[in-house]
Amino acid sequence: MPDADTSQRSRLIRTWVVALLAAVPCALLFTGYVKDDAYIAFRYARNLVDGLGPVFNAGEHVEGYTDFLWVMLAALVHPFDPGDGSVVLAVARVVGVGSAVALAAATTSIARLLGARGSPLAEAWALVAGVVVAVHPAVAVWSMSGLEPVPFAALVAWSVERALAGRVHAALWLGVTAALLRPEGHAVLGFAALLSFLYMFERDGLVASLARMARALALPVALLALYHAGRYAWFGTLVPNTYRVKSCAGHAWYEGFEAVVTAASIGAGPGLLLAGAFAVGVLRRRAVLLLVAFGLSFFAYLWWVGGDEMRYGRLVIGAWPLLTASGAAAFVGVSGFLPRQRTGRIVAAALVAIVALCGVGAGLAGQVGLVPTLSNYQARMDASQRAMGDYLQSRLPAGSLVAYQDMGMCPYAARDLRFLDTVGLVSIEVADIRDREGVRLTGDEAGGPRASHEARERFKSGLRDLLFARRPEAIALQAELPEDQAPDLLARAHELTVSELTPLFGGDFSAGIGADPRLASGYRLDRVFPRPKRLILVVFLRNDVAGAR
C-alpha cells in the first residue's frame, strides 16, 4: 500500500510539473496580447462593484457578456484595481495560465483513465498528450487574452476526467461551474451526467443509478435554476444579447464551415482530429466514442453559429484534450501488439518520440507564426482604443452618449460615458434591428448573395436612423487604410481632412455612417487616433458640444 501511494504521488507530481513546464513558457510568448472584449466583462464588473448592478450603461439591463463567472471574478478584484484595469487583467491572466496548466494535466489524466497507464511507455504517451495540448497555439494565446476560453476548456476536461474516474459529485459540480462560466457549459454538465450515469449503471443497475443520479444532480441543477431565474429577473430574457448578435442558428453554413476549417487547422489540430478518429477505430470502446463525439460537438457548434469573429480557435479549445487523450490511449493499445523484444521496444519508443515531435513542433510553429501579429497588440490598443477612451472621458460631460463599434478598452477607459454599440452586443435596439433583418455578426439568415446584400443594406440603414435619432454627443468611426497607402496615411493622420477620411469608412461595422449627410451636417471632426498598422480611429463631436469639462 505505501508503494502504491508513493507511485500515485509520483505520478501526480510528474503530471503537474510537465504540464507547468510545457504551458507557462508558451503562454509567456503572448504577454503583449490582450483581447479588447475582455474589457466588456471588466466594465460590467466595475459597474457591479459601483452599485449599478451588472450593466454596461447605467440603467440599461442588457446581457452583453456570456461569461458570468468571469464578470464575478473581475468584480472581486476590482476594489484592488487602480482604475485602469491592470490588476484585473493581471489576475485574469494568472487564472488563464493556471488553467492552461490544469488543462494539460487533465489531458494526461484522461489518457491514463482511457488506458494509457501501467508501463513507462504508456506513461510517456499520457504525458505527451498533455504537452501537445499545452503547446497548442489556441491555448497559449487565449490563456493570456484576459478572457475565459482556457479556464472553460479546463473545466470541460476536468469534469470529463472526474466522471471517468467515477467521482460523480465532483464531475457534476465542475459541469455546473462550466455552465456558469459559458452557455456551452450546460452541454458539459449534461455530458458529465451521462458519463457518470453510465459508470453507475455498470455497477449498480438501472433503478439504483437513476436514483443516485437524481440525488447527485439535485443541488447543482437547483443552483443553475436559481442563476437563470436571477438572469431573467434582471435582464428579462433567457437568451444573452450577444447570442442574438452573433449566432446565425444554422443559416450561415458556408461561413461556419470556413470557421471550422480555420480552427481545426491551427497548430497540431489536423493531427489531433485524426488521432481521435484513430482512437474510435482502434479501441472501439464506448467511453472513447463518447469523448470523441463530444469533442467534435465543439466544431459542430462553431459551424452552427456561423463562425467566431474572435478567431484563433477560441470556441473549440475544449475539444483538444478529449481528442488528444483518446488518441494517446489508442497508441498505447497499438503498441501492445508490437514484439516485446528489444526491437519492439525501440519501435514503440520511436513512435512516441515521432508523435511528440510532430505535435509539439506543429504547436510551436503555429505560435511562432502568431507572435509577430500579437506580440505588440496590447501596446497598439493602449495607444488607440484606451487613448481615445481617456480623451472622450475628459472631453465630454458625464452621461454623454458615444456611438462606437468596439465596446472593450475604449468604453472601459471612458467610465462616466454611455455608449451606443453599433455592433449590438450591449445594445438591445441594434440587436432588434439585426433580428428584424436576419443579419448577424458573421453571416446572414437570408438565402443567396443578393438577398443577403439587401438585408445588410436594410440593417445599415436602420442602424443609421437609430443612431442619428439618438443624437449622441460623439460618434467614433474606424478608417480602414489600404495596405499600400497605410504608412503615408498613418504618418499624416493628424493632418487628414474629412474628405480624405470619408472614403476610408468602408467597413461593415461603420454601416455607411461616415458617408451619411447627417454626419456632415450635425457633427465636426474633432480628433484622430492612429492605430498601426492599418487603422485610424476618428472622433466626431456634435456641433453643439462645448469645450472640455
Q: What is the CATH number of the domain that holds 497?
A: 3.40.50
Do 169 and 126 belong to one domain? Answer: yes
Q: Is 480 helix (H, G, I), strand (E, B) or coil?
A: strand
Residues 266 and 412 occupy one common structural domain: no
Query: Last residue of some domain: 374, 400, 428?
Result: 374
Q: Do the domain assignments include residue 547?
A: no
My answer on whether 362 and 455 are in the same domain is no
Residue numbers of the domain that contains 521 = 377-542
Confirm whether 548 is domain-assigned: no
Does residue 431 belong to any structural domain of this protein? yes
Domain annotation covers residue 429: yes
Is 352 a domain residue? yes
Among candidate residues 334, 355, 374, the one where a domain is terminated:
374
| Residue 376 main-chain phi, psi, to 5 deg | -115, 25
Do both 216 and 281 map to the same domain? yes
Same domain assignment for residues 97 and 153:
yes
What angle separates helix 149-164 from helix 319-335, to the nearest 10 degrees? Answer: 40
The 3-state DSSP class for residue 525 equals strand
Instruction: Count Cβ neighbours within 10 Å for each residue of 414-436 and write b for 16 or more, e otherwise.
Output: beebbbbbbbbbbbbbbbebbee
Q: How far apart are CA 164 and CA 167, in angstroms?
A: 8
Whole-angstrom distance, CA of residue 20 vs CA of residue 300: 31
pLDDT tens for the chain, 549 residues long, are 556 566 788 889 999 999 999 999 999 999 999 999 999 999 999 999 999 999 999 999 999 999 999 999 999 999 999 999 999 999 999 999 999 999 999 999 999 999 867 788 889 999 999 999 999 999 999 999 999 999 999 999 999 999 999 999 999 999 999 999 999 999 999 999 999 999 888 888 888 889 999 999 999 999 999 999 999 999 999 889 998 888 876 677 778 888 999 999 999 999 999 999 999 998 888 999 999 999 999 999 999 888 888 788 999 999 999 999 999 999 988 876 666 667 777 888 888 899 999 999 999 999 999 998 888 889 999 999 999 999 999 999 999 999 999 999 999 999 999 999 999 999 999 999 999 988 888 766 666 778 888 888 999 999 999 999 999 999 999 999 998 898 999 999 899 999 999 999 977 778 899 999 999 999 999 999 998 888 999 999 999 997 544
Instruction: Tell whether 512 and 441 lie within a shared domain.
Output: yes
Q: Which residues contact 515 (CB under 8 A, 6 or more apart)?
A: 502, 505
For residue 476, the Cα-to-chain-centroid distance in whole angstroms is 26
> What gap in Å lies between CA 319 and CA 380, rounded to an integer?
32
With beta carbons less than 8 A apart as the criterion, state whether 388 and 43 touch: no
- 3's CB contacts (< 8 A; 6+ apart) are none
Q: Are residues 341 and 453 in the same domain?
A: no
d(CA 81, CA 443): 38
Q: Residues with Cβ < 8 Å from 253, sequence gap 6 or more?
A: 303
DSSP category for residue 473: S
- Evaluate the CA torsion angle 353, 354, 357, 359 in order and state its sign: negative
> What is the gyration radius of the CA atoms in the chain, in angstroms?
25
Instruction: Give residue 532's identity as a one-letter amino acid code.
Output: P
308 and 433 within one domain: no
Q: Are 334 and 434 within one domain?
A: no
- Domain for residue 71, yes or no? yes
* 497 lies in the same domain as 365: no
Specify which residues 173 forms β-bridges with. none
Phi, psi of 174 (to 5 degrees): -65, -35
**258 and 389 share one domain:** no
Q: Is residue 228 part of a domain?
A: yes
How far does Cα 290 stand from its chain's mean position?
24
Q: How many structural domains are present in the chain?
A: 2
| CA neighbours closer than 13 Å in the CB half-sphere of residue 219 | 10
Residues 480 and 332 grouped into a single domain: no
C-alpha cell at 120: 513507462
Boundary of a domain, candidates 374, 390, 412:
374
Burial profile 477-508: b = 16 or more Cβ within 10 angstroms, e = fewer: bbbebeeeebeebbeebeebeeeebbebbeee
Q: Is 183 among the domain residues?
A: yes
Q: Convert the pLDDT of each residue in 211-256 to its tens digit.
A: 999 999 999 999 999 999 999 999 999 889 998 888 876 677 778 8
What distance in Å separates the CA atoms of residue 20 and residue 451, rounded to the nearest whole number? 51
